[in-house]
Amino acid sequence: MPRKSTRLTFAVLATGAGVFSMLQSLIAPALPTVQHALHTSQSTATWVMTAYLLSASVFTPILGRVGDLTGKKRTLVAVLLTVLAGCLLAALAPSIGVLIVARVVQGVGGALFPLSFGIVRDEFAPAEVPGRIGSLSAVIAAGGGVGMVAAGPIVSALDYRWLFWIPVAVVAVTALIAVRYVPESRNRAEGSVSWLGAALLSAWLVALLLPLSQAGTWGWTSLRTLGLFAAALVLFALWLATEARSRTPLIDLRVMRLPAVWTTNTAALLFGAGMYAIWSFLPGFVQTPSAAGYGFGASVTAAGLLMLPMLLAMFLSGVLSGRLQPVLGAKTQLTAGAALGALACGILAAWHDQQWQVALAAGVFGFGIGLAFASMANLIVGSVPADQTGAATGMNANIRTIGGSLGTSVTGVLVTGHLQPSGLPYASGYTHGFTLLAVLCLAAAAAALLVPAARAGGRTRTAPAVPADADRLLPVAERDDSAAPVSGS
């Protein structure tokens, strides 16, 4: 039977992943509105973001692996329907508790990232894969920017509930098209889901990310924070031991040790720290009243528009990255993307008195995000076997999120550690924060330089010391007994 149109397949993947990425940032500017409308406290309202982060972190690698095992299309459709249900529940939520539950349900959509990358690898001709992954990464990166830019106008013109009603309509149509036109995967992993591994992975991720996101409220030295960090360490060790002994691990640790994978993941951790912190603190910086000695007193809508150069630059560079990869290589693009992030943070640390300076820095960082997102995905997809694509790209997304939580938490300490009598941060807090983020992005660039050089054909060198059956760990294109590559229609 002929394969479905790859163009329509890509449109479905891009729409689903873009909507999920948008949901990550869309609600953040509207949190004060949500807090007022649902008559809750600021600390409770922040759980609207925290619940989403924790849920996405848990489900992204687990459902990525489920897709590898049971079929990526089947899992993709199930995830889209779950996101649809979560958005509908959020739009109708009568209380903050129901809204938080709805955000947990929406977080399942984190699996759209690894599932989409896996489907691209399965359904497109090998020569097309880097470009398609670059474009998909551009949509994912730009989705977060769209959320920041669109939130203000939507809330002002309509109501915060329309931040969820609009995704309801988009996701419903996307799910219907996916059922009809996205082909089912022909590459399947063998074995079954390691539910013990899944439970331990979920436990240590929650134990790590929860105190990172709440330490500002709980206190870094509180018993709750330190206890959860200790629990995360113990659970992580148990998870490693369980996965190492499992015949069908949720995350194959031998794959994680491949040189191209661990170096890319290290860069993802460090770059994620800088990226998420910029997304979190730059809008607040420009909204600060100028009476504080800095800031521009911008409204939520104006702050979003000031971030528009970042949105446009990240989309443009993500689309271009696929075309540049045959010339520059993914390693060079990742290094350049992280270096541009460092440059942007350096600009913000040194010059932030004029709006054009902030817009320039946002554009430079956006260009770096587009290059980094696309190259990280291409490096992982090009370095792991086809039946590990979902799990490996899911873990890469998770590691980036963990880095983002670390970067946001530490930057928050620097920015809010000393406050003016008015309750606003001092300018020096932001300067120190932006300087730290520049250092983290430079470290990400250094980690990117450790990525193995590409072979002819675009694959990375992967030669770790692993058992004799490790031939299955090589990308399909590098196995002597592999079938001919699948071409897209």
Which pLDDT band holds residue 354 (cuts at 50, 70, 90)?
Answer: very high
Residue range 218-246: average pLDDT?
A: 93
> CA–CA separation, 355 vs 253, rounded Å?
46
* DSSP secondary structure, 296-335, as one string: ----HHHHHHHTHHHHHHHHHHHHHHHHHHHHH-HHHHHH
| In the chain, domain spans | 6-193+248-477, 194-247
* DSSP secondary structure, 2-28, as one string: PPPPHHHHHHHHHHHHHHHHHHHHHSG
> CA–CA separation, 34 vs 39, rounded Å?
8
Q: Which residue has the higher pLDDT, 469 or 40?
A: 40
> CA–CA separation, 310 vs 142, rounded Å?
8
Give me the amino acid identity at 273.
A
Provide the whole-model pTM: 0.82
Say if CB 239 and CB 197 are below 8 A apart: yes
∠ Cα 177 157 91 (to 5°): 50
Residue range 422-430: average pLDDT?
A: 89
Residue range 164-184: average pLDDT?
A: 91
> CA–CA separation, 309 vs 304, rounded Å?
10
The whole-angstrom distance between residue 236's C-alpha and the CA centroid of its chain comes to 21
Best CA proximity match to 135, nearest among 370, 344, 366, 368: 370
Distance between the two ends of the chain, CA-based, in angstroms? 12
365-395 pLDDT, tens digit per residue, is: 999 998 998 899 889 988 888 778 888 888 8
How many helices and strands (H and E) does the chain possess? 19, 0
**Average pLDDT in the chain:** 85
Would residue 403 be called left, alpha or beta, if left means φ above 0 and alpha means ψ between -120 and 50 degrees? alpha
Say if CB 61 and CB 395 are below 8 A apart: yes
The whole-angstrom distance between residue 253's C-alpha and the CA centroid of its chain comes to 21
> CA–CA separation, 432 vs 441, rounded Å?
14
Fold annotation for 6-193+248-477: Growth Hormone; Chain: A; (1.20.1250)
Q: Which residue has the higher pLDDT, 321 or 84?
A: 84
pLDDT the model gives residue 145:
76
Lowest mean pLDDT across 173-182, 247-256, 317-326, 408-417: 317-326
14-40 pLDDT, tens digit per residue, is: 998 888 888 887 887 788 888 889 988
45's CB contacts (< 8 A; 6+ apart) are 31, 32, 34, 35, 38, 96
